[in-house]
């Protein structure tokens, strides 16, 4: 049975993507912070897909040792990961000097370090088998500086650059392993916005707002058709296509407008 390890699989787009993988007959390995949420989400998924196999691990990915602990959990159970989805992450909002340093460091560790470490750990096994896919959840905030979501956007710029270059390296070494980079725009219906103090920020009812279902459909279609990069949501894809025509000043005006509170 094919197996997908999805970090943050019990919530938001992680859960929406899990529904596609469950429908596709995959066994799911979920890693997230909150044990109760993991148990509840597992029950909900198995109510919808009664054959779904779901294994759960509650762990804080902002801790440096957690990625290795996830890898050890997988290998000590004899599982092999066909598809790794690095999805767990969170954001901060406000002027950088107003945000507690430790909160941003925890975000950098979760969004960047855990993504990097998990990629390295599972990539080695995939390269040995010459098979597997890594799906990296970046963001449209990776494409330009984002005042008031400064450090968050920088973490996603890392994920974007690292993952797209990894795909180029895989191509260069003629590997069958694939890396799919995903850049969603603001998602209106996940916990992300409330959990990160973003309620009332215009982008969640903005130019290119999307939903968890739309993101999951776009990711699944990109994954099953062998693509290596996807901007999710038709309106965001249009804006992304236009971005080279938009001067920096106008781009930043749009970003300021989108990240303002209403």
Ligand X SMILES: NC(=O)c1ccc[n+]([C@@H]2O[C@H](COP(=O)([O-])OP(=O)(O)OC[C@H]3O[C@@H](n4cnc5c(N)ncnc54)[C@H](OP(=O)(O)O)[C@@H]3O)[C@@H](O)[C@H]2O)c1
| Choice between 7 and 133, CB closer to ligand X | 7
Residue 180, φ and ψ in degrees, nearest 5: -105, 120
| Choice between 82 and 258, CB closer to ligand X | 258
Gap between the terminal Cα atoms of the chain:
48
Q: How far is the CB of 3 from ligand X (least distance, A)?
A: 19
Under 8 Å between Cβ of 185 and 237: no
87: phi > 0 → left, psi -120 to 50 → alpha, else beta; which?
alpha
Count of beta carbons in the 10 Å neighbourhood of residue 123: 18
Q: Which residues bind ligand X (CB under 6 A)?
A: 8, 10-14, 32-34, 37, 60-62, 87-91, 110, 137, 139, 184, 186-187, 190-192, 195
CB-based closest residue to ligand X: 12
Cα 190 to Cα 210: distance, rounded to the nearest angstrom:
10
| Choice between 245 and 262, CB closer to ligand X | 262
- The dihedral through the CA atoms of 86, 222, 41, 82 has a sign that is negative
Q: What separation in angstroms does the CA of 5 have from each of 76, 81, 117, 129?
A: 15, 6, 14, 17
Q: How far is the CB of 257 from ligand X (least distance, A)?
A: 16
| Choice between 12 and 132, CB closer to ligand X | 12
Under 8 Å between Cβ of 196 and 93: yes
Q: How far is the CB of 220 from ligand X (least distance, A)?
A: 15
Q: How far is the CB of 195 from ligand X (least distance, A)?
A: 5
Q: How far is the CB of 130 from ligand X (least distance, A)?
A: 28
Residues in CB range of 137: below 8 A, 6 or more apart: 13, 85, 86, 87, 89, 159, 182, 184
| Choice between 164 and 175, CB closer to ligand X | 164
| Choice between 8 and 132, CB closer to ligand X | 8
Q: How far is the CB of 48 from ligand X (least distance, A)?
A: 18
Structure tokens at 163: 């993952």
| Choice between 71 and 90, CB closer to ligand X | 90
* Block residue for tokens 């690292």: 162
Q: How far is the CB of 174 from ligand X (least distance, A)?
A: 30
């Amino acid at each position: 049975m094919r197996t997908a390890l999805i970090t943050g699989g019990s919530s938001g787009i992680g859960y929406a993507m899990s529904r596609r993988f469950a429908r596709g007959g995959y066994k799911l390995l979920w890693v997230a912070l909150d044990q109760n949420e993991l148990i509840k989400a597992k029950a909900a998924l198995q109510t919808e897909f009664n054959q779904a196999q779901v294994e759960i691990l509650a762990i804080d990915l902002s801790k440096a040792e957690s990625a290795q602990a996830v890898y050890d959990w997988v290998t000590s159970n004899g599982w092999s990961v066909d598809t790794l989805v690095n999805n767990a992450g969170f954001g901060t909002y406000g002027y950088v000097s107003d945000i507690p340093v430790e909160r941003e460091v925890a975000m950098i560790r979760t969004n960047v370090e855990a993504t990097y470490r998990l990629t390295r750990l599972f990539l080695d096994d995939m390269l040995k088998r010459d098979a597997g896919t890594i799906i990296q959840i970046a963001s449209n905030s990776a494409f330009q500086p984002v005042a008031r979501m400064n450090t968050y956007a920088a973490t996603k710029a890392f994920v974007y650059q690292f993952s797209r270059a990894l795909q180029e390296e895989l191509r260069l070494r003629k590997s069958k392993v694939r890396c799919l980079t995903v850049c969603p725009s603001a998602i209106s219906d996940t916990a992300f916005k409330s959990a990160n103090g973003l309620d009332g920020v215009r982008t969640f009812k903005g130019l290119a707002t999307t939903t968890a279902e739309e993101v999951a459909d776009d990711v699944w279609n990109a994954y099953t058709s062998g693509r290596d990069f996807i901007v999710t949501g038709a309106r965001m894809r249009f804006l992304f296509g236009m971005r080279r025509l938009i001067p920096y000043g106008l781009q930043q005006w749009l970003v300021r407008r989108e990240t303002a509170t209403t």
